[in-house]
């Protein structure tokens, strides 16, 4: 695993809102069994099929999580940001990463010992519920992707992608500046050329505004209608 190690910090415990349910003793338990790494934009955090040795907590930055579906093909699954966990399945016995993750911005990641985290989840119900709730949001995004791939046409797929990437979850940053048109296409599971064509159509219809890599949603209601109609 690449990344630059940061020593003598306790940001893992302080920067995640979900950790506010921990007692001082439990927080100390987390801090004793963690390592904090910094990844530069573009660096791989982990690869699909690699051993999953720790639970990963993003303490700063933006990360793209994707599924490699072919030699040069991938399906983007989600954007993870500060407070999100990666590799959560390792707590339940999964030894290998099922997906890949790459830093879109300079990103700080806290590697947490799996056994210590599992112990906290078993013994602190309020903490476990908060973690479960946060991961449910990610699961809901995966279900949306499956539904889009199964039932929607290209316009509906791209509309769904734009709504996700401009949702309140990312309100504190304009994520489009970190994503290429191919990234958008891989979120929507359409060809890059089709994504570019549809974006221009949406702009012509007054639904969005394009400026470089930036995308501004002008008519969210109409975009939602396109998503529903598929």
User: In this predicted structure, what is the pLDDT of residue 11?
Assistant: 55
Please indicate, yes or no, if residue 147 is contained in any of the structural domains: no
3-state secondary structure (DSSP) of residue 208: strand
- Decide if pLDDT at 116 tops 90: no
Q: What is the pLDDT of residues 171-182, one digit of tens each?
A: 888 899 999 999
Tokens of 61: 């930055």
126 in any annotated domain? yes
| pLDDT tens by residue, 182-215 | 999 999 999 999 999 999 999 999 999 999 999 9
DSSP string, the chain: --SEEE-S--HHHHS-GGGGGS-HHHHHHHHHTEEEEEE-TT-EEE-TTSB--SEEEEEESEEEEEEEEETTEEEEEEEEETT-EE-GGGGGT--B-SSEEEESS-EEEEEE-HHHHHHHHHH-HHHHHHHHHHHHHHHHHHHHHHHHHHH--HHHHHHHHHHHHTSGGGTTS-GGGG--HHHHHHHHTS-HHHHHHHHHHHHHTTSEEEETTEEEES-HHHHHHHHHH-
For residues 160 and 84, state if they share a domain.
no
Within-domain flag for 146: no
| Mean pLDDT confidence for 99-105 | 96
Asked if residue 161 and residue 135 are part of one domain, the reply reads no
For 205, the domain range is 152-229
One domain, residues 171 and 135 = no
Length of the chain, in residues: 230
Q: What is the pLDDT of residue 7?
A: 40
The count of structural domains within the chain is 2
Domain at 171, CATH number: 1.10.10.10
From 70-79, 182-191, 211-220, the region with the lowest mean pLDDT: 70-79
CATH number at residue 129: 2.60.120.10
Task: Give the model confidence (pLDDT) of 132-185 as tens digits.
Answer: 877 777 777 777 888 778 788 999 999 999 999 999 888 888 899 999 999 999
3-class DSSP state of 85: strand
d(CA 95, CA 42): 25
Q: CB neighbours (10 Å) of residue 115? A: 11
- Please check the confidence at residue 53 and state whether its pLDDT lies above 60: yes
Distances (CA, A) of 134 to 36, 65, 81, 122, 138: 21, 16, 12, 17, 7
Residue 20, pLDDT above cutoff 80 = no
Q: Is residue 44 part of a domain?
A: yes
One domain for residues 46 and 112: yes
- Asked, for residue 34, whether it belongs to a domain, the answer is yes
**Domain co-membership, 219 together with 165:** yes
SS3 191: coil
CB-CB contact of 63 with 45 (8 Å): yes
Is 29 a domain residue?
A: yes
Residues 191 and 221 in one domain: yes
Does 116 share its domain with 10?
Answer: yes
Above 60 in pLDDT, residue 218? yes
| Cα distances (angstroms) measured from residue 170 to each of 3, 62, 86, 152, 181 | 25, 10, 17, 24, 18
Of 120, 141, 162, the residue that ends a domain is: 141
Same domain for 15 and 114, yes or no, is yes
What pLDDT, on a 0 to 100 scale, did the predictor assign at position 65? 95
Q: Are both 29 and 128 inside the same structural domain?
A: yes
136 and 22 part of one domain: yes
- 224: in domain: yes
Q: Is the pLDDT of residue 1 over 60?
A: no
pTM of the model: 0.87
User: Does residue 208 belong to any structural domain of this protein?
Assistant: yes
Specify whether 167 is located in the same domain as 205: yes
Domain boundary among 110, 141, 172: 141
**Percent with pLDDT over 70 in the chain:** 92
Same domain, 134 and 156: no
Average pLDDT for the chain: 87
């Amino acid at each position: 695993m690449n990344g630059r190690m940061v020593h003598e910090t306790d940001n893992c415990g302080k920067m995640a809102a979900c950790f506010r349910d921990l007692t001082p003793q439990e927080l100390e338990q987390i801090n004793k069994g963690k390592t904090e790494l910094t990844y530069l934009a573009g660096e791989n955090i982990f690869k699909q099929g690699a051993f999953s040795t720790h639970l990963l907590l993003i303490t700063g930055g933006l990360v793209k999580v994707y599924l490699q579906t072919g030699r040069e093909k991938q399906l983007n699954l989600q954007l993870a940001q500060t407070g999100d966990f990666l590799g959560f399945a390792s707590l339940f016995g999964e030894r290998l990463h099922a997906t890949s993750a790459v830093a879109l911005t300079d990103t700080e990641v806290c590697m947490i010992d799996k056994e210590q985290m599992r112990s906290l989840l078993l013994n602190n119900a309020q903490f476990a519920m908060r973690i479960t709730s946060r991961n449910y949001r990610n699961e809901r995004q995966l279900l949306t992707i499956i539904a889009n791939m199964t039932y929607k046409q290209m316009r509906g797929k791209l509309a769904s992608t734009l709504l996700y990437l401009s949702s309140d979850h990312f309100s504190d940053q304009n994520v489009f500046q970190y994503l290429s048109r191919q990234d958008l296409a891989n979120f929507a599971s359409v060809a890059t050329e089709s994504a570019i064509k549809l974006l221009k159509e949406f702009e012509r219809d007054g639904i969005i505004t394009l400026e470089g890599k930036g995308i501004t949603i002008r008519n969210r209601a109409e975009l939602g209608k396109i998503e529903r109609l598929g």
